[in-house]
Amino acid sequence: MICGWMILKINNYDKKIFAYWFFNPLLILELLINSHNDLIMVTFFIASIFFSTINKNKALEVISYVASVFTKFMSAPLIFSLFTFGKIKLWLFKLSGLGILFYHAYYPRYVWYYSWVYMILPFINLKKRTWTIFFIFQALIIISAYSKFILQKEWGQLDWMPPELYIRWLLPVFLIISETNIFSKLKKLANNKAN
């Protein structure tokens, strides 16, 4: 609840970003129902962003960030968030988000580790279609991870499911394509060369 309120304040009461974050099935399933401590890490990190942007309290910003790192190491590489502002911070957040997604593709671990990217997703101004792509792939990853347990009461992947590893690699690739509009830029370039 506190995280949602902070995200609303940071994003100037943008209800779409709040809804994407607060009603997210992955976060509800993995952080609330399964009670992973990643929720504490994410909450402290979001609090550090809140204290840097809204409350302007450097001491609470640093304390929140350190508490996040002490909860789980994954927020440690995001130390730049304490010292950067504006577009530089935005681009570093975007690169960090992609880094986290590629990390999960290369080192496939547990599904709840995808919650790490939600430390920064509310702050990187994703396009609506990118959020949609993210949720589609996230749903495929959740289904792939839990389907065998639900249907056969054992962990692993069902034989008929597409390998989760492919889904994990395709997610950051599709996000890059969506955010950069690469196909429309290539089409425009081809049209310019044809003329």
Q: What is the structure's pLDDT at 128?
A: 86
Tell me the CA distances in angstroms from 154 to 49, 115, 148, 162, one per residue in order.
Answer: 40, 23, 6, 18
pLDDT tens digits along 89-118: 888 888 888 888 888 888 777 778 888 888
The number of angstroms, rounded, from the C-alpha of 143 to the middle of its chain's C-alpha atoms is: 18
Please report the pLDDT score of residue 2 as a whole number: 81
Q: Which residue has the higher pLDDT, 146 or 47?
A: 47
Distance CA 113, CA 12 (A): 28
Instruction: Quote the pLDDT of residue 160.
Output: 56
Reported as a single tens digit per residue, the pLDDT across 126-164 is 888 888 888 888 888 887 777 767 777 776 655 655 667
pLDDT in tens, 157-194: 556 556 677 888 888 888 888 888 877 777 787 788 77
Give the per-residue pLDDT at 83.
84
Six-digit token pair at 187? 């089409």
What is the reported pLDDT for 143? 79
71-79, long-range: CB within 8 Å, 24+ apart, which pairs? 71/37, 71/40, 71/41, 71/44, 72/37, 72/38, 72/41, 74/38, 74/41, 74/100, 74/113, 74/116, 74/119, 75/41, 75/44, 75/45, 75/116, 75/119, 78/45, 78/119, 78/120
* pLDDT tens, residue by residue, 5-32: 888 888 888 888 888 887 888 888 888 8
Overall number of domains in the chain: 1
**Computed from CA positions of residues 142, 143, 145, 149, in that sequence, does the dihedral angle turn out positive or negative?**
positive
pLDDT at 161: 57
> Which residue range(s) make up the domain with 157?
2-194
The pTM (predicted TM-score) of the whole model is 0.81
176 contact partners, CB below 8 Å, separation of at least 6: 98, 182
Distance, CA of 103 to CA of 74 (rounded, Å):
11
pLDDT in tens, 50-61: 998 887 888 999
